[in-house]
A = this chain, B = another copy of it.
Amino acid sequence: MQLSNTSQYAIRMLAYMADKKDSSLINATKLSEALQIPYKFLTKIMTELVKADLVVSIRGREGGYTLKKNASDIMVGDILKVFNDSMQDEQCVLGIGFCNGMCKCALHDQWMKPKRLLQKMFRESSLEDIAGRGCKI
Protein backbone atom coordinates (compact mmCIF):
# COMPACT_ATOMS: atom_id res chain seq x y z
CA MET A 1 0.00 0.00 0.00
CA GLN A 2 2.26 2.76 -1.26
CA LEU A 3 2.81 5.23 -4.10
CA SER A 4 4.85 4.14 -7.10
CA ASN A 5 8.49 5.11 -7.25
CA THR A 6 7.73 7.35 -10.18
CA SER A 7 5.01 9.26 -8.32
CA GLN A 8 7.19 9.65 -5.24
CA TYR A 9 10.01 11.04 -7.39
CA ALA A 10 7.67 13.40 -9.25
CA ILE A 11 6.24 14.86 -6.05
CA ARG A 12 9.71 15.40 -4.63
CA MET A 13 10.94 17.01 -7.84
CA LEU A 14 8.05 19.46 -8.07
CA ALA A 15 8.10 20.25 -4.35
CA TYR A 16 11.80 21.06 -4.63
CA MET A 17 11.20 23.28 -7.64
CA ALA A 18 8.41 25.08 -5.79
CA ASP A 19 10.79 25.66 -2.89
CA LYS A 20 13.50 27.08 -5.19
CA LYS A 21 11.11 29.10 -7.32
CA ASP A 22 13.20 32.28 -6.83
CA SER A 23 16.05 30.93 -8.99
CA SER A 24 13.46 30.44 -11.75
CA LEU A 25 15.15 27.76 -13.87
CA ILE A 26 16.64 24.56 -12.51
CA ASN A 27 18.27 21.91 -14.65
CA ALA A 28 18.09 18.14 -14.54
CA THR A 29 21.68 17.66 -13.37
CA LYS A 30 21.20 19.89 -10.32
CA LEU A 31 17.84 18.34 -9.46
CA SER A 32 19.23 14.85 -9.84
CA GLU A 33 22.11 15.64 -7.48
CA ALA A 34 19.95 17.44 -4.94
CA LEU A 35 17.28 14.74 -4.75
CA GLN A 36 19.50 11.73 -5.42
CA ILE A 37 17.29 10.54 -8.25
CA PRO A 38 18.98 8.81 -11.22
CA TYR A 39 19.54 11.49 -13.89
CA LYS A 40 18.15 9.59 -16.83
CA PHE A 41 15.07 8.48 -14.95
CA LEU A 42 14.47 12.01 -13.72
CA THR A 43 14.54 13.47 -17.23
CA LYS A 44 12.14 10.79 -18.39
CA ILE A 45 9.70 11.71 -15.62
CA MET A 46 10.18 15.43 -16.23
CA THR A 47 9.32 15.08 -19.91
CA GLU A 48 5.97 13.61 -18.87
CA LEU A 49 5.37 16.47 -16.45
CA VAL A 50 6.07 18.90 -19.31
CA LYS A 51 3.57 17.12 -21.55
CA ALA A 52 1.05 17.21 -18.70
CA ASP A 53 1.41 21.01 -18.51
CA LEU A 54 2.71 21.07 -14.96
CA VAL A 55 6.23 22.12 -15.95
CA VAL A 56 7.74 24.35 -18.64
CA SER A 57 11.04 23.34 -20.19
CA ILE A 58 13.58 25.61 -21.84
CA ARG A 59 15.84 23.70 -24.16
CA GLY A 60 19.40 24.50 -25.12
CA ARG A 61 22.30 25.99 -23.19
CA GLU A 62 21.26 27.74 -19.97
CA GLY A 63 17.99 25.89 -20.23
CA GLY A 64 16.12 24.00 -17.54
CA TYR A 65 12.71 23.54 -15.98
CA THR A 66 10.27 25.66 -14.05
CA LEU A 67 6.70 25.24 -12.80
CA LYS A 68 4.01 26.19 -15.29
CA LYS A 69 1.58 27.40 -12.59
CA ASN A 70 1.71 28.85 -9.10
CA ALA A 71 2.75 26.32 -6.50
CA SER A 72 -0.60 26.89 -4.82
CA ASP A 73 -2.37 25.75 -7.98
CA ILE A 74 -0.64 22.39 -8.35
CA MET A 75 -2.08 19.67 -6.13
CA VAL A 76 -0.45 16.38 -5.22
CA GLY A 77 -3.44 14.70 -6.85
CA ASP A 78 -2.66 16.46 -10.16
CA ILE A 79 0.77 14.87 -10.11
CA LEU A 80 -0.56 11.40 -9.33
CA LYS A 81 -3.04 11.66 -12.20
CA VAL A 82 -0.16 11.99 -14.65
CA PHE A 83 1.13 8.57 -13.64
CA ASN A 84 -2.28 6.90 -13.22
CA ASP A 85 -1.54 6.64 -9.52
CA SER A 86 -4.50 8.58 -8.15
CA MET A 87 -7.45 6.81 -6.59
CA GLN A 88 -10.58 6.36 -8.64
CA ASP A 89 -13.61 7.10 -6.52
CA GLU A 90 -15.15 3.67 -7.04
CA GLN A 91 -11.88 1.73 -7.13
CA CYS A 92 -12.35 -1.53 -5.21
CA VAL A 93 -9.82 -2.09 -2.44
CA LEU A 94 -9.97 -5.85 -3.14
CA GLY A 95 -9.59 -5.40 -6.89
CA ILE A 96 -13.03 -6.74 -7.84
CA GLY A 97 -14.13 -4.25 -10.47
CA PHE A 98 -15.78 -1.17 -9.01
CA CYS A 99 -17.42 -0.61 -5.64
CA ASN A 100 -20.36 1.66 -4.96
CA GLY A 101 -23.60 1.78 -3.04
CA MET A 102 -25.18 -0.78 -5.36
CA CYS A 103 -22.47 -3.39 -5.23
CA LYS A 104 -19.61 -3.46 -2.79
CA CYS A 105 -16.87 -5.80 -1.66
CA ALA A 106 -16.39 -7.33 1.77
CA LEU A 107 -13.96 -4.64 2.92
CA HIS A 108 -15.83 -1.71 1.41
CA ASP A 109 -17.37 -0.30 4.58
CA GLN A 110 -14.07 -0.32 6.48
CA TRP A 111 -12.27 1.17 3.48
CA MET A 112 -14.52 4.22 3.09
CA LYS A 113 -13.05 6.36 5.87
CA PRO A 114 -9.35 5.92 5.12
CA LYS A 115 -10.07 6.27 1.40
CA ARG A 116 -11.87 9.57 1.90
CA LEU A 117 -8.97 10.94 3.94
CA LEU A 118 -6.46 9.82 1.32
CA GLN A 119 -8.46 11.48 -1.43
CA LYS A 120 -8.75 14.62 0.68
CA MET A 121 -4.99 14.69 1.18
CA PHE A 122 -4.33 14.31 -2.53
CA ARG A 123 -6.99 16.85 -3.48
CA GLU A 124 -6.14 19.53 -0.95
CA SER A 125 -2.35 19.42 -0.59
CA SER A 126 -0.69 21.91 -2.92
CA LEU A 127 3.00 22.22 -3.73
CA GLU A 128 2.96 25.44 -1.73
CA ASP A 129 1.71 23.50 1.29
CA ILE A 130 4.54 21.00 1.16
CA ALA A 131 7.49 22.91 -0.38
CA GLY A 132 10.32 23.29 2.08
CA ARG A 133 8.54 21.29 4.76
CA GLY A 134 10.19 18.47 6.63
CA CYS A 135 13.90 17.88 7.06
CA LYS A 136 14.61 15.81 3.97
CA ILE A 137 14.02 16.31 0.28
Which of A42-50, A57-65, A105-113 sits within the interface?
A: A105-113
Given contacts A1-B85, A3-B1, whether A110 and B94 have CB atoms under 8 Å apart is no
- Nearest-CB distance from A16 to chain B (Å)? 9
CB-CB < 8 A to A99: which residues of B? 134
Q: Are B1 and A118 in contact (CB under 8 A)?
A: yes
Query: What interface size band does chain A fall in?
Result: 35 or more
CB-CB < 8 A to A113: which residues of B? 117, 121
A91 interface residue, CB < 8 Å from B? yes
Q: What CA separation (Å) do A96 and B12 show in the bound complex?
A: 10
- Nearest-CB distance from A94 to chain B (Å)? 5
Q: What CA separation (Å) do A3 and B87 show in the bound complex?
A: 12
